[in-house]
Amino acid sequence: MIPGGVCRAGATPDAPAETCALRQSPPVLNILIVTFPFFALVAAGFVAAHRRMLPLEAIPGLNGFVLYFALPCMLYRFGSTTPIAQLLDVTVAGVYLLCALVMVAFAIVWTMDRRIRWNDASLGALVAAFPNSGFMGVPLLVALLGPAAAGPAILTMLVDMVVTSSLCVALSRLDEGEGHGREAMIDAGKKALKGVAANPMPWAILLGALASYAQFSLPGPVEKTAWLLADAASPVALFTIGAVLARSQIQSSHPMPLSDYLPVAVMKLVLHPLLVLAVGLAVRQLGVPLDGFALTVIVLVAALPSASNVSLLAERLGADNGRIARIILVTTVAAFITFSGAVSLLT
């Protein structure tokens, strides 16, 4: 257990004075009561798409609703009701970013060989370092730990969307014929940053942070509309994750050795959270101010399964999407046990 890692006083203006969704040493059953519905919705989406109760052609529409409407509203709501200091915590961002960079480097070195070159190795490294914090992590951690968990979780999202994903996209172009070495990497990095700029989620977080700083509230009818969309984000996003995983499995069913994807899945679910925990504790030991609650949150973020949208990115960049989809599927299924176990150990 991380000292001071569960309860937080005065989490948000809307939260009670003491936000503590999980008590000290909570029973496993209490944790499963919270986590089971999240993973059950993923399973429901998987079954619906796999059995064609949900047409595969409808999945982009679900993705569009979540990405451009529901999830930005949810992130804006959390950002606007979170103290600005939590959204600007340089220590939290630094610890998480350092661990992400180490994970990317380790995964590339571990997996690259004559078959798996820069493109596949870099996208594999991205799923090893990029948790499903947007579609799953923020609502799940808030349900487990209370509204105060939103700040550190949202901060990790920004790190992954702006730095980790852009770096991996840039590295994935190193073995492409259109450029050479540094030039190809710079060009790919620019394209990746343009992609970040076109993503509504960072802008929603930024606008929420500005609203928090200025103590600004939306007009009543507008706020109610945005909050309705925010309430829809979690269930639709989780259902969509399952549908995307089913579609990836249907479209990428060629046989593949376990060694191509299982080690990366283990890195994501085991090595990543352990690395964040070790670095965070080391930083605290050195006297750097790192809040115990925030450390708990970012360790649990790292314990989440791989981000499902990396599969779409791999498809667009010409990587082996079957391999990426398998890693995401394995981490999502196994995380029901491993993530719940991490919550039990840390809280």
pLDDT in tens, 41-95: 999 999 999 999 999 999 999 989 998 999 999 999 998 988 888 888 999 999 9
Task: State the greatest distance between any 2 C-alpha atoms of the chain, in Å, as a whole number.
Answer: 59
Q: What is the pTM (predicted TM-score) of this model?
A: 0.86
Q: What is the per-residue pLDDT for 12?
A: 43
Residues near 283 by beta carbon (within 8 Å), at least 6 away in sequence? 91, 95, 290
pLDDT in tens, 231-265: 999 899 999 999 988 988 887 767 778 888 899 99
pLDDT in tens, 150-186: 999 999 999 999 899 988 888 887 876 545 556 666 6
Instruction: Judge whether residue 268 has pLDDT over 70.
Output: yes
What's the structural domain count of the chain?
1
Would residue 305 count as lying in a domain?
yes
Would residue 320 count as lying in a domain?
yes
Instruction: Judge whether residue 10 has pLDDT over 90.
Output: no
Which domain CATH number covers 79?
1.20.1530.20
Would residue 322 count as lying in a domain?
yes
Would residue 43 count as lying in a domain?
yes
Q: What is the per-residue pLDDT for 259?
A: 84
Alpha-carbon distances, residue 179 vs 170, 317, 320 (angstroms)? 12, 15, 21
- Number of Cβ within a 10 Å radius of residue 169: 23
Residue in this structure with the two tokens 């790190």, named with its chain if needed: 159
CA distance 47 to 246: 7
Residue in this structure with the two tokens 């802008």, named with its chain if needed: 203
Instruction: Judge whether residue 18 has pLDDT over 80.
Output: no
Would residue 246 count as lying in a domain?
yes
Domain that holds residue 342: 36-346
Of 198, 219, 224, give the one whose Cα is nearest residue 68.
198
Would residue 2 count as lying in a domain?
no
- Please give the span between the terminal C-alpha atoms of the chain, in angstroms, as a whole number: 6
138-145 helix and 150-159 helix, angle to the nearest 10 degrees: 160
Please state the separation of Cα 338 from the chain's center in Å. 16
